[in-house]
Structure 1
């Protein structure tokens, strides 16, 4: 992850509830809560524009933020957010307080590299992604931006398992009892159909 902690301005909320939340949204703010680290939850409001931009940029829930609450900076990790199902704007955000020793569980996206160096794909095979993200245990300060999977040399029928992925130091997959599959190089559907037709013709 990036060592530079991004900042986000916020203000405390004295009132909570649906009426207060609607008023905040009309004023371009999103109701949010900071919780964790054995402290009382803190109700805050953050800029709709700033939060929406960060969500759309990707990696929102794996990026530590320093929230400036009336001059006090609190390091947090976005844990969840709610979107309006119809109008697709952010309704609420939950932030988790983090320190240097905070362990978290996060979904880390998978990034595939060197597709052009995979003989199976060059021959017409299809990258079949089984997991677009992997649930990981990590120190909050060591959350990786992505798990990188190198496809170099993979042929049709080959699989990539979690054991093939170089994991950042201090991180472990939540699933620890099996070597689960990340992706495979599959035969394209057309190829399967042609093979079936060839088999049928041979049998006749």
Structure 2
């Protein structure tokens, strides 16, 4: 993965007025915090920031902040967007030691659903957690946590222990093997099965009624004879 570098500037103005001024200048305002230093108001040129953002490699990943000749490893912890234009409005960067563990939420990705027999049997994936918070070295943060559905069966419960984490990483919840998802019979399949059962029961009842009718006719003919 290519290294992402954010060239930032320190903002003189803070608060709402300073943020608005930065946006008028074609920049995205932000805040740098964490470590043993105080928070610093910063900004970055919007165009390269958007380019880095839409690669999917910025939010929640280790990046290099550059200010002049100084560099600092950071993690983009939060980015706020305009609800109408989707333009980035503000971002938060956290200072980190790239070799030290950090607490971060990672999205869960489910693969090979099309190769899982359970879904051809009417199964549906019920997701309990779309992301999992883990402790992991800053330079080993995974892009996603992968669950392979290929060999799962209908009724299976998928737990966090099934997910392969980077060496030394672990979930922040340590007192239980918590559930990520399960494969259940879908309501549509249940409805279809119920309809099929009802049709089968009706057909069986009709067959039995016809058999009884034939038997009664045979008995009547025997009596008349």
Select the residue among 92, 95, 98 that pairs with 2:96. 98
Select the residue among 84, 97, 102 that pairs with 2:82. 84
Bigger radius of gyration, 1 or 2?
2
Unmatched 5+ stretches in structure 1: none
Alignment of 1:11-160 (within 5 A): 11-160=9-158
Q: Is the 8 A contact 1:98 1:140 kept in 2?
A: yes
SS at match of 2:136: strand
- Please give the TM-score of this superposition, normalised by the length of structure 2: 0.80
SS at match of 2:118: helix
Q: Is the 8 A contact 2:31 2:92 kept in 1?
A: yes
Q: Is the 8 A contact 2:158 2:179 kept in 1?
A: yes
- Please give the TM-score of this superposition, normalised by the length of structure 1: 0.87
1:43-79 Cα offsets, whole Å, 9 max, x none, are: 2111222333333333533211111112211111011
Unmatched 5+ stretches in structure 2: 206-225
**Partner Cα distance (1:36, 1:90) in 2:** 22
CA RMSD of aligned residues (A): 2.2
Q: Is the 8 A contact 2:73 2:98 kept in 1?
A: no
Report the alpha carbon displacement of residue 124 of structure 1 after superposing the two structures with TM: 3.4
**Partner Cα distance (2:98, 2:63) in 1:** 13
**Partner Cα distance (1:71, 1:33) in 2:** 19
Q: Is the 8 A contact 2:159 2:179 kept in 1?
A: yes
Report the alpha carbon displacement of residue 167 of structure 1 after superposing the two structures with TM: 1.8
| Bigger RCO (CA 8 Å, 6+ sep) | 1
**Partner Cα distance (1:25, 1:82) in 2:** 13
Select the residue among 163, 174, 177 that pairs with 2:175. 177
Q: Is the 8 A contact 1:12 1:70 kept in 2?
A: no
**Partner Cα distance (1:156, 1:110) in 2:** 20
Report the alpha carbon displacement of residue 28 of structure 1 after superposing the two structures with TM: 1.1
- Between 71-80 and 47-56, report the one with greater CA deviation: 47-56
SS at match of 2:193: helix
- 1:114/1:85 CA distance change after superposition, 3 Å: closer
Q: Is the 8 A contact 1:11 1:45 kept in 2?
A: yes
SS at match of 2:39: strand
- Which has the larger share of helix? 2
The alignment covers a number of residue pairs equal to: 202
**Partner Cα distance (2:158, 2:68) in 1:** 48
